[in-house]
Amino acid sequence: MSFREVMRGKAWKYGDDVDTDVIIPARYLNSSDPTELARHCMEDIDAAFASRVTPGDFIVAGKNFGCGSSREHAPIAIKASGASAVVARTFARIFYRNAFNMGLPIFEAPDAVDEIETGDRLAVDMERGSLRNETKGTEYRFTPIPPFMRELVSAGGLLNYIAKRKKGG
Amino acid sequence: MTLTEKILARHAGRDAVAPGELILAKVDLALGNDVTSPIAIQAFRTFGAAEVFDRERIALVPDHFTPNKDIKSAEQVKMMREFAKEFGVVNYFEIGRMGIEHVLLPDEGLVVPGDLVIGADSHTCTYGALCAFSTGVGSTDLAGAMYSGEVWLKVPETLRIVLSGRPAKWVEGKDVILHIIGEIGVDGALYRAMEYAGNGIAHLPMAWRFTMANMSIEAGAKNGIFPFDGATKAYSDGRAKRKYEVVTADPGARYADEISVDLSALEPVVAFPHLPENTRPLSAVGDVLIDQVVVGSCTNGRIEDLRSAAAVLRGRKVHDGVRMIILPATQEIFLQAMREGLMETFVEAGAAFSTPTCGPCLGGHMGILARGERAISTTNRNFVGRMGHPESEVYLSNPAVAAASAVLGRIGGPDELP
């Protein structure tokens, strides 16, 4: 993933405390196949999401997105659904780790999320830390991703980061 | 430094650490289950490594969808079993000799005070009861730790929770933690450590401390941790498989925040759907009819929990309209429940008594709810669809309240029983 490109897509808006059980219900955790998980992504909160999401779309939510279980199936399902990123007021900490380890960009833009509605067209510049709501004609700044997380992403995820580090002694 | 900072510093080879710092820390134990290990194993294999970092410091526990509930689950467990064999992972626990990971591993002495443990399961924070640092991570982190023996961590700020007083009858560890989550919310300790202090701790048996540390994640916390005392020592000595070091918080440790809880002022607490923070004291629950009662899980599947439920059920019958399911957390607890006659009490009361499994807690198997059904459960989460149909409901409580509710056919406490 590169930080240079501006990501564009439409928003899917949800509320506070979206938990991993609604992102990917446990009844589907007998598989770790991304395509199959994506088919049930957000199923218990929005049955239409998986069939109607288009590549590049954003999931937008309130506080504590991804709370609950440590299942990496949650960011895997979101990534495989075609969504490009998650924007929220705050993230639950295990989801936050998992998303970066997996290479799913997520960012906290507390000022922006309130006015975003489902269907709004968004343009996000991760490098500058800016989010433009093209539907509403507004623009917000957010704190760019911390340097360590960027290092993880530039290395190509946690596995490559560890492999490189171990090789380098 | 706080308890958490001290343990993190030791494992990062540093004299001191401060909140916000990113560290690379050595892990004493890394664990996974049948849901999270398959992804970790696939990730581990991308390293092309010939061995794991330490064959004795990895634990693989098939507990979620076991005994295998379907073909796909069987394939996932098979992958774990074969991986354990190929890499000589010592602590793989087969069906018939296993238990729910967060009850099994401390009971087996595989987690000891002062440890740094990561697990690909959010309830890994349970071991904080032993004055260890433990936290849930994802499968990729587990893969990294199985390979390198290390994990990257951000040092959390610490929320200090001062406990005082003695809890009343029927008030257990579950009620204390549900009360705290109700006060601070499901993100009230987000990114933070929850450190318990105060003379009220002396009234909390180890089983209750495990329950409380276990549900730290339900307040968003990175970990929950108790100080080491006589009860910790009594639990650890004789079962610890490694030598342990006692860590204490410094008198001048800096806490981001502090809250106080008077244990003597609490009554049993029930969390309403669909968040653990939706708590009400039992006396304010009202008339809530139930279809199912579950006693078990990494939160409340210990022998003390079964004793508490059995004490309420003894000589009574489960209500006609209710299914009650009891899940001892480990084979050892199963055996103990048999020896003490608890199993007989449950079966005579009309409850189902199961082999250890996470099962219904996460809507896996062994007690799934239909549309519109309602359960009271000693488990840890009551999210939408957690135990089955997205239109079913889960209420959380302690084992005594769950057992009393099973008899009453509605949510209620032991004092309401005839």
Interchain proximity A70–B42, CB inside 8 Å: no
* C-alpha–C-alpha distance, residues B25 and B150, integer Å: 5
Q: Provide mean pLDDT across the span B280-287.
A: 98
Lowest mean pLDDT among A125-134, B104-113, B169-178, B180-189: A125-134
Quickly tell me which residue has 């939160």 as its tokens. B299
Q: Provide mean pLDDT across the span B163-174.
A: 98
- Whether B208 and B231 share a structural domain: yes
- Whether B243 and B345 share a structural domain: no
3-state secondary structure of B344: helix
Amino acid letter for position B406: A
Share of chain A above pLDDT 90, in %: 73
The pLDDT assigned to A151 comes to 79
pTM greater than the 0.90 cutoff: yes
The pLDDT assigned to A169 comes to 45
* C-alpha–C-alpha distance, residues B401 and B411, integer Å: 8
pLDDT, tens only, B125-142: 999 999 999 999 999 999
Tokens (6 digits) for A44? 């218990």
Domain hosting B205: range is 3-261
- Whether B244 and B280 share a structural domain: no
Chain B neighbors of A68, CB-CB under 8 A: 122, 217, 381, 383
* C-alpha–C-alpha distance, residues B266 and B231, integer Å: 23
Please check whether residue B356 is in contact with residue B334, taking contact to mean a CB–CB distance below 8 angstroms. Answer: yes
- Whether B241 and B283 share a structural domain: no
Q: Give the residue from B376, B166, B347, B164 showing the smallest Cα distance to B259.
A: B164
What is the pLDDT confidence band of residue A6, given thresholds at 50, 70 and 90? confident
Interchain proximity A159–B144, CB inside 8 Å: yes
Q: Decide which of B243, B261, B279 is a domain's last residue.
A: B261
3-state secondary structure of B163: strand
- Whether B254 and B275 share a structural domain: no
pLDDT, tens only, A75-102: 999 999 999 999 999 999 999 999 988 8
Interchain proximity A101–B141, CB inside 8 Å: yes
pLDDT, tens only, B378-413: 999 999 999 999 999 999 999 999 999 999 999 999
- Whether B53 and B142 share a structural domain: yes
Q: Is the pLDDT of residue B274 over 80?
A: yes
Return the HEC string of A62-112.
CCCECECCCCCHHHHHHHHHCCCEEEECCECHHHHHHHHHHCCCEEECCCC
Please check whether residue B135 is in contact with residue B25, taking contact to mean a CB–CB distance below 8 angstroms. Answer: no
- Whether B311 and B363 share a structural domain: yes
- Whether B184 and B306 share a structural domain: no
Q: How far is B233 from chain A (nearest CA, A)?
A: 30
* C-alpha–C-alpha distance, residues B107 and B239, integer Å: 7
Q: Decide which of B232, B261, B290 is a domain's last residue.
A: B261
Residue B417 belongs to a domain: no
- Domain total in chain B: 2
Interchain proximity B383–A21, CB inside 8 Å: yes
> Per-residue b/e over B45-67, b at no fewer than 16 CB within 10 Å?
eebeeeebbeeebbbbbbbbbbb
The pLDDT assigned to A3 comes to 55
> Per-residue b/e over B265-298, b at no fewer than 16 CB within 10 Å?
ebebbbbbebbbbbbbebeebeeeebbbbbbbbb
Q: How far is B47 from chain A (nearest CA, A)?
A: 7
Q: Decide which of B261, B282, B305 is a domain's last residue.
A: B261
pLDDT, tens only, B239-272: 999 999 999 999 999 999 999 999 999 999 999 9
The pLDDT assigned to A102 comes to 85
Q: Is the pLDDT of residue A1 over 50?
A: no
Q: Which residues, 6 or more positions from B349, have their beta carbon under 8 angstroms from its beta carbon?
A: B313, B314, B316, B317, B318, B324, B406, B407
Q: Give the residue from B383, B401, B413 showing the smallest Cα distance to B293.
A: B401
Q: Which of B41, B297, B383, B389 to mutate to test the interface with A (most CBs of A within 10 A)?
A: B383
- Whether B233 and B309 share a structural domain: no
Q: Provide mean pLDDT across the span A142-166.
A: 79
Residue B21 belongs to a domain: yes
What is the pLDDT confidence band of residue B172, given thresholds at 50, 70 and 90? very high
* Domains, chain A: 6-167 (3.20.19.10)
Q: Is the pLDDT of residue A4 over 60?
A: no
Q: Is the pLDDT of residue B304 over 50?
A: yes
* C-alpha–C-alpha distance, residues B305 and B242, integer Å: 27
Q: Give the residue from B216, B268, B236, B42 showing the smallest Cα distance to B140.
A: B42
What is the pLDDT confidence band of residue B23, given thresholds at 50, 70 and 90? very high
- Whether B15 and B155 share a structural domain: yes
Task: Decide if A44 touches B, using CB distance below 8 A.
Answer: yes
* C-alpha–C-alpha distance, residues B226 and B232, integer Å: 9
Which B-chain residues 43-62 have CB contacts (< 8 A) with chain A?
43, 46-47
Nearest to B140 among A17, A69, A72 (CB): A72
The pLDDT assigned to B288 comes to 98
Interchain proximity B187–A159, CB inside 8 Å: no
Task: Decide if B121 touches A, using CB distance below 8 A.
Answer: yes
ipTM of the complex: 0.94
pLDDT, tens only, B214-244: 999 999 999 999 999 999 999 999 999 999 9
Return the higher-pLDDT residue of A128 and A45.
A45
What is the pLDDT confidence band of residue B314, given thresholds at 50, 70 and 90? very high
Tokens (6 digits) for B89? 């992972």
Residue B75 belongs to a domain: yes
* C-alpha–C-alpha distance, residues B25 and B336, integer Å: 38
* C-alpha–C-alpha distance, residues A55 and B167, integer Å: 54
Nearest to B137 among A17, A70, A102 (CB): A70
- Whether B62 and B84 share a structural domain: yes
User: Pairing state of beta strands A58-61 and A85-88?
Assistant: parallel
Q: Provide mean pLDDT across the span B356-367.
A: 98
Residue B418 belongs to a domain: no
Task: Decide if A19 touches B, using CB distance below 8 A.
Answer: yes
- Whether B334 and B231 share a structural domain: no
Interchain proximity A97–B383, CB inside 8 Å: no
Q: Is the pLDDT of residue B286 over 60?
A: yes
Quickly tell me which residue has 């007083």 as its tokens. B165
Shortest CA distance from A21: residue in chain B: B386
The pLDDT assigned to A160 comes to 82
CATH of the domain at B379: 3.30.499.10
Please check whether residue B395 is in contact with residue B302, taking contact to mean a CB–CB distance below 8 angstroms. Answer: no
In Å, how far are A34, A123, A150 from A9, measured between CA atoms?
21, 7, 22
What is the pLDDT confidence band of residue A146, given thresholds at 50, 70 and 90? confident
Interchain proximity B275–A32, CB inside 8 Å: no
Q: Taking all residues of chain B, what is their mean pLDDT, rounded to a whole number?
A: 98
Q: Provide mean pLDDT across the span B285-297.
A: 98
